[in-house]
Amino acid sequence: MKINDMTTLTTVVAGGAGIACLPAYLVHEQVASGQLCRVLPDWHTPEINLYILYPSQRGLTHKARLWMDFYISKLADNW
């Protein structure tokens, strides 16, 4: 099976269809509740850098700033 959407993949795996390499920020609630479990707890994917690109601080809209702050906080909490 090939799925290129992480949310769909999480749903399929939680339904018992197999195992997958999923980001912790996406599945932390399912792991905490016992719905999903880590099968290789000592293995980790290589670390990656994430970047947010935008034209400039002056051109940054309030909506874009809120979006950036939201995702930065979500990733910091669950990374």
1 and 17: one domain? yes
Token pair 């995702």 in the structure block, residue? 71
36 and 74: one domain? no
13 and 32: one domain? yes
32 and 59: one domain? no
Which of 49-54's residues contact partners 24+ apart within 8 Å by CB, and which partners? Answer: 50/75
Reported confidence tier of residue 78, pLDDT bands at 50, 70, 90 = low
36 and 54: one domain? no
Q: What is the number of structural domains in the chain?
A: 2
58 and 24: one domain? no
60 and 35: one domain? no
What's the rounded Cα separation, in Å, for the pair 12 and 23? 15
Do residues 1 and 17 lie in contact, with contact meaning Cβ atoms separated by under 8 Å?
yes
Q: What is the domain extent for residue 77?
A: 49-79
Kindly tell me if the per-residue pLDDT of 51 is higher than 80: yes
pLDDT digits (tens, 9 = 90+) for 11-45: 999 999 999 999 888 898 999 999 999 999 898 88
Kindly tell me if the per-residue pLDDT of 53 is higher than 90: no
Reported confidence tier of residue 9, pLDDT bands at 50, 70, 90 = very high
